[in-house]
Amino acid sequence: MERNDKERFNQLFEQIIEIAGGNFEYRHKISGRRDALDTLGELLNIMAEEVAYFNYENVSHLATNTRPILVVFDQKGEISNYSFAFLDILGHKKLRKNINTSINQLLTEYSIPLLHEELKSIRNEELNQDLFSLDFKTADNRILRANCTLGILFKKNKKKAYVLSIYEDFKNQSLKSNTHQGELNYKSLKSKSASNRILVKNVRLYVLRNLNKPLPALKQIGLLHQTNQTKLKSEFKNAYGLTIHQFHNKKRLERAALLLKTTELPISVISNQCGYKSLAHFSRKFKEFYSSSPRLFRSTNLK
């Protein structure tokens, strides 16, 4: 077993340990090789999401889902599996086993071609974990926008199946009319506080899933998360003590340090994987953060 495969196996083992310890938010990062280990990783991610949903469903009446919701569909777009939270959030009834339901039926007309473009991209390129937005139709004709990523599963018959991971926070209350008028003020204040926390969590997730590239301007990040840049800047700084771009740079450098310590990848490759445009820029930022050059850091931490 190659070193890289061994590390991937150890990551799967670590995920199992985390789940056993009650950490259902731990997610295995797919390598893009589209092999048995990637398939196992996707299945473990699905299992963790399902366990989390049932474990926390009755703890809070807010039913806030901060974990990815997963939908599996085949090459024809027909849904074969899905998280229980998926249809609950959209207000649809359980899909009938003998009736094929296409993922397109649950998307708006505008989002169908967007998903098809992502499908073309993932067929022709390496696995793409970039976020993209889709609009889903609810049973009462509302629209819910969510950030998504797309992955591939290979079945025993070598046929492809696609896994749509939906990264969004929904509250059941937002899908139903409020009949308790006397509690409106209290609930609106509580909802505002909760929505701010949800916003910060979503942005943090967005940052962590885009460590391989520079972030866009704050205004664009705000548009992506349907908020203004002033609120976004303030809420994130209050939560993490750093601006969004400072947090992004810190996490990129931590990722680079981990790769330097645990892999034999060339420093230029690590620089590229962590989203730096040049090796010189990466080396300068790394030295500012760790007070050591990448080469010296690797030699002193070599295992």
119-176 per-position pLDDT tens digit: 887 764 445 566 777 888 888 777 787 878 888 877 666 778 888 888 754 433 343 3
Model pTM above 0.75: no
d(CA 142, CA 257): 45
Tell how many helices (H) and how many strands (E) occur in the chain: 11, 5
**Strand residue runs (E) in 53-193:** 69-74, 79-82, 132-137, 143-154, 160-167
Question: Over 70: is that where the pLDDT of 192 sits?
Answer: no
Structure tokens at 97: 């086993």
Asked whether residue 58 carries a pLDDT value surpassing 80, the answer given is: no
Show the tokens assigned to 239: 């939560």
Tokens of 125: 């390129």
Ranges in the chain annotated CATH 3.30.450.20: 1-174
Q: What's the DSSP call for residue 201?
A: H
Place of tokens 């190659």: 2
Considering the chain, tell me which residue range(s) the CATH 1.10.10.60 domain(s) occupy.
Answer: 206-303
Which candidate, 40, 35, 47, 41, places its Cα nearest to that of 2? 35
Strands 143-154 and 132-137: antiparallel
- pLDDT at position 3 is 47
Arithmetic mean of pLDDT, 51-55: 55
Q: What angle do CA 81, 86, 88 make, to 5 degrees?
A: 125
For residue 173, the model assigns a pLDDT of: 36
Looking at residue 157, the DSSP 8-state letter turns out to be: T
Q: Which of the 8 DSSP states describes residue 96?
A: P
Query: Can you read off the two tokens belonging to residue 216?
Result: 């866009």
**Residue 129 CB partners (closer than 8 Å, separation 6+):** 29, 30, 149, 151, 209
Separation of alpha carbons 174 and 191, rounded Å: 10
Give the CATH architecture of domain 206-303: Orthogonal Bundle (1.10)
91 sits in the region (left: phi over 0; alpha: psi -120 to 50; else beta) called left
Q: Which CATH class is domain 1-174?
A: alpha beta
Alpha carbon distance 120, 24 (integer Å): 31
Write down the pLDDT at residue 230: 87
Spatial neighbors of 269 by CB under 8 A, at least 6 apart, are: none
Residue 83, classified by CB atoms within 10 Å of its CB into exposed (0-12), middle (13-18) or buried (19+), is buried
pLDDT band at 47 (very low <50, low <70, confident <90, very high): confident
* Helix H or strand E segment including 89: helix 84-90
